[in-house]
Structures are given as C-alpha cells and as structure tokens.
C-alpha cells in the first residue's frame, strides 16, 4: 500500500541534483585512471560532492538535506559509477546509512539529527564496518569477533574490520560487534573516527575498485559513550533483515555497476566507429557481427534501466518488497553489467585489454559487482528453496 507520507517524499529540485552529478562526473572520470593506477583515494571528489550538496542527498529535508529517496539516489550513483565507481561505492554506503537513520525506529533521534546536520554542513561520511577476517560477511551468519565491553563510564571496543570502504575519509564508523555480557547481544555501535586505539592499516590492493580505500580498521580498547549503542539485540532477533538497508543496498550496488557497463558501452561505440582495419577498408561499426553484439549490449542495459528505476520507485512509494526480489534485481543487473563489458572485450580484442584504454579498468571494476552481498549463490539458493516450498 502506498502511504501519503511516501507520496510526499521527494527531493527539492531533483533534476538540479542530477545536473550537479553530471557536471562533477566529468572531472571524476578524468581522474579515475590515475587513482586506479596508484590505488590512491579520491579525496578531491568528496570535497566537490560536499560543495555541491550531494553528500546530503538522502538526508531528510527536515534536517536540511535534499530528502531524496532511492530512485534519485540510484540515478546519481549510476552517473558517478560511470565516471568513477570507487567514489560511487563510498557514497552509496553513506546514502544507505542516512536512509536507514531516517526510517529506523532503533536509531536514537539525537544521534540521527546530529549526523544529518554534519552531512549537510560539511564532509562527514559514515559507513558500516561489518566484515572480519574470520567472520567474512555477516550475511552468511556467525557472531563477530569484535567485542564491546560495557563499563560504568562507557563501552570499550576491540576488534578487526576488513573491507572498510571509504576508511581514509570516514568521520563515523558503524561497527558490528557483540557484547561481553553473559548472554551476548549483537549489533551496531557508533564510533567517531580517529579515537585513541583506532588504527587504519592500508591493506587494500585490489583487482578492481582500487580507489575505494577499503582498508582494515583495528580497534584496540577504544572508549565510546554508553549511548553509542545504536541497535544491539539477541542474535536470534537479527534473522529478520532490515528491509530499508537490504533494499537500498541492492539497488544502489546495481546502479553503480550498471554505470560501469555504460562507460564500457560508450568506449566501445567510439572504438567501433574509429577502428578501420586495412583488410576491411571500413570501420568495424559496419560489420553485422559488431552491430549484433552492440544490440545485445543495448538490450541488457535497457533491462537494467527498467529494473533499477521501477524497483527504486516502488521502494520510495512504500510498496512491500521481498528480500528475494531485491536480491534477484542485484543479481540480474550486475551480471548483465559483467556480460556487457565481456561483450565489449570480445569485439575490441587486444585493444580492450590494453592499459592505454579504459575498457580493461571497467572490466576489473565490474567484476566486483558479484562480490557484494548478497552473492549470486546465496540469491539462487534462497530463490530455489522458496520455489520448492517447505
């Protein structure tokens, strides 16, 4: 059912935010190759995003943000993902957490207002730190090794997080940990970056998304206030997914990798028009094989656009969405994106794999889409079990 509140949720001057993203994307794309080559973090991109008001896109209008929902956020992320997916991924995590803050009854109002205000006023990024060396992805089950010990004056946090996207610039960590109580609870603790006992270890040296700053973060007896406990429950109470978090995550991740595929498509079109083999005496674009493969690329991208826009729109309109459908959207879009770049490589050959062209970078980046939770095997197993019934 569509609620009146959902109907009223709309960003101020949404087309303007799209235009701002498109303007910034030109500079992001120009810098992306160097950040990829060196593995350096694109600090300048986030300064520009902050100045353009795009860091507060999903912050509620009541707190000074744009109040955008998933549909417009996905459009922005698709534009930026086409230019620099590492930047888009960091931004997507920030957007997700602000959407959750705005909709979740478990977030203390005082803290959600504080973080919203900081995002409007300056460069204050947040991301959830959940993955650990032994645990892997929490979506697979298991308790975190990160421990929060309660004292009379505050929590003392110790643990090791990996794949902490955006870590060089994050102002806030939302840390997944278990308590040291007789019956442990599990959940999220809000930790300001830079506290004594916190250390970033620059371990991120990846095949793709090399500029995302997804390093390790170590917490060694870090002291945080008692009210830094955001949502801590018995482990069994976490079996039900946070619909806002899970849905926004799948559609935003899908939008980013669709953007990568569109960058590959654009490069391929230019290549096909300009490449004139001596044996052919005409551009590759005149070959029926090239036209057919490009047509298949266009078909995949058209499907992706429909899936992302309709699913994000349903989310914004308050329509009940299932985890299975959400996961299927992510699986379909990301695999379509991978297939697009693979098709582009099949037509461009050695040219596409040369580091002098961006296609090999797009290929390395787009493969990362399969790694994000939920992974393809989990999605397929879940859908299969539902189809088979009890």
Q: What would the pLDDT profile of 292-349 be if each residue is shown by its tens digit?
A: 999 999 999 999 999 999 999 999 999 988 889 999 999 999 999 999 999 999 999 9
Confidence of residue 143 (pLDDT cuts 50, 70, 90): confident
Tell me the pairing of strands 126-129 and 172-179.
Answer: parallel
Give, for 157, the enclosing helix (H) or strand (E).
strand 155-164
Whether pLDDT at 170 is above 70: yes
pLDDT at position 149, please? 97
pLDDT at position 193, please? 98
The b/e string for 37-46 (b: 16+ C-beta within 10 A; e otherwise) is eeeebbeebb
Q: Helix H segments across the chain?
A: 4-8, 14-38, 43-51, 70-83, 85-103, 109-121, 243-274, 288-316, 323-348, 350-353, 359-367, 376-388
Q: How far is CA 365 from the centre of its chain?
A: 13
Whether pLDDT at 1 is above 60: no
Whether pLDDT at 8 is above 50: no
Give the span between the Cα atoms of 46 and 36, in whole angstroms: 16
Q: 0.75 cut: is pTM over it?
A: yes
Sorted by where each starts, the structural domains of the chain and their CATH numbers stand as: 4-124 (1.10.540.10), 129-234 (2.40.110.10), 243-388 (1.20.140.10)
Give the span between the Cα atoms of 232 and 328, in whole angstroms: 29
Residue 323, classified by CB atoms within 10 Å of its CB into exposed (0-12), middle (13-18) or buried (19+), is middle
Q: What are the C-alpha distances in Å from 261 to residues 13, 291, 297, 358, 362?
A: 28, 17, 9, 12, 7
Which residue is it, tokens 């970078």? 361
Whether pLDDT at 99 is above 70: yes
Give, for 127, the enclosing helix (H) or strand (E).
strand 126-129
pLDDT at position 2, please? 35
Mean pLDDT over 347-355 rounds to 94
pLDDT at position 144, please? 94
Confidence of residue 223 (pLDDT cuts 50, 70, 90): very high
Segment 144-155, tens digit of pLDDT: 999 999 999 899
Q: Which residues pair with 172 in a beta bridge?
A: 126, 192
Handedness of CA 79, 81, 87, 92 (dihedral sign): positive
Whether pLDDT at 90 is above 90: yes
Mean pLDDT over 349-357 rounds to 94
Specify whether the CB–CB gap between 189 and 157 falls below 8 A. yes
Whether pLDDT at 118 is above 90: yes
Whether pLDDT at 13 is above 80: no
pLDDT at position 137, please? 61
> What percent of the chain has pLDDT above 70?
95
Confidence of residue 239 (pLDDT cuts 50, 70, 90): confident
Whether cis (ω within 30° of 0) applies to the bond prior to 374 is yes
Residue 185 main-chain phi, psi, to 5 deg:
-110, 160
Handedness of CA 139, 142, 145, 147 (dihedral sign): positive
Q: Provide the terminal-to-terminal Cα distance of the chain, rounded to the nearest Å.
A: 28
> What percent of the chain has pLDDT above 90?
87
pLDDT at position 139, please? 59
Mean pLDDT over 188-206 rounds to 97
Whether pLDDT at 6 is above 70: no
Which residue is it, tokens 């939302």? 174
Give the span between the Cα atoms of 127 and 131, in whole angstroms: 12
Whether pLDDT at 200 is above 90: yes
Task: Return mean pLDDT, the chain.
Answer: 93
pLDDT at position 141, please? 62
Give the span between the Cα atoms of 234 and 343, in whole angstroms: 47
Whether pLDDT at 135 is above 90: no
Mean pLDDT over 91-110 rounds to 93
Confidence of residue 138 (pLDDT cuts 50, 70, 90): low
Give the span between the Cα atoms of 92 and 255, in whole angstroms: 10
Compute the half-sphere exposure of residue 307: CA atoms within 13 Å on the CB side of its CA: 27
Specify whether the CB–CB gap between 28 and 45 falls below 8 A. yes
């Amino acid at each position: 059912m569509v609620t009146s509140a959902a109907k009223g949720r709309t960003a101020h001057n949404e087309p303007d935010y799209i235009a701002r993203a498109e303007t910034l994307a030109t500079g992001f794309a120009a810098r992306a190759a160097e950040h990829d080559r060196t593995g350096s973090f694109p600090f300048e991109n986030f300064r520009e995003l902050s100045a353009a008001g795009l860091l507060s896109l999903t912050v509620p209008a009541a707190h000074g943000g744009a109040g955008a929902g998933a549909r417009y956020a996905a459009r922005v992320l698709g534009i930026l993902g086409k230019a620099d997916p590492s930047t888009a991924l960091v931004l997507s995590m920030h957007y997700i957490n602000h959407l959750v803050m705005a909709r979740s009854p478990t977030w203390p109002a005082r803290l959600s207002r504080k973080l919203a205000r900081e995002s409007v006023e300056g460069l204050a990024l947040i991301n959830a730190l959940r993955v650990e060396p032994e645990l892997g992805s929490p979506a697979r089950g298991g308790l975190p090794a990160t421990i929060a010990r309660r004292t009379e004056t505050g929590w003392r946090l110790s643990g090791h997080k990996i794949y902490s996207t955006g870590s060089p610039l994050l102002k806030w960590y939302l840390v997944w940990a278990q308590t040291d109580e007789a019956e442990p609870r599990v959940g999220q603790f809000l930790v300001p970056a830079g506290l004594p006992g916190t250390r970033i270890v620059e371990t991120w040296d990846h095949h793709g998304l090399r500029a995302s700053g997804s390093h390790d973060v170590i917490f060694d007896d870090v002291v945080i206030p008692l009210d830094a406990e955001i949502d801590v429950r018995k482990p069994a109470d976490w079996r039900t997914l946070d619909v806002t978090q899970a849905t926004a995550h799948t559609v935003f991740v899908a939008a980013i990798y669709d953007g990568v595929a569109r960058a590959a498509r654009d490069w391929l079109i230019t290549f096909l028009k300009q490449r004139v083999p001596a044996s052919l005496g005409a551009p590759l674009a005149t070959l029926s094989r090239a036209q057919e493969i490009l047509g298949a690329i266009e078909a995949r991208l058209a499907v992706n656009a429909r899936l992302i826009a309709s699913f994000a729109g349903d989310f914004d309109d308050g329509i009940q969405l299932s985890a299975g459908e959400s996961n299927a959207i992510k699986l379909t879009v990301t695999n379509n994106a991978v297939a697009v770049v693979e098709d582009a490589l099949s037509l461009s050959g050695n040219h596409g794999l040369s580091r002098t062209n961006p296609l090999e970078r797009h290929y390395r980046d787009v493969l990362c889409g399969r790694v994000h939770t939920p992974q393809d095997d989990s999605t397929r197993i879940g859908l299969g079990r539902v189809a088979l019934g009890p």
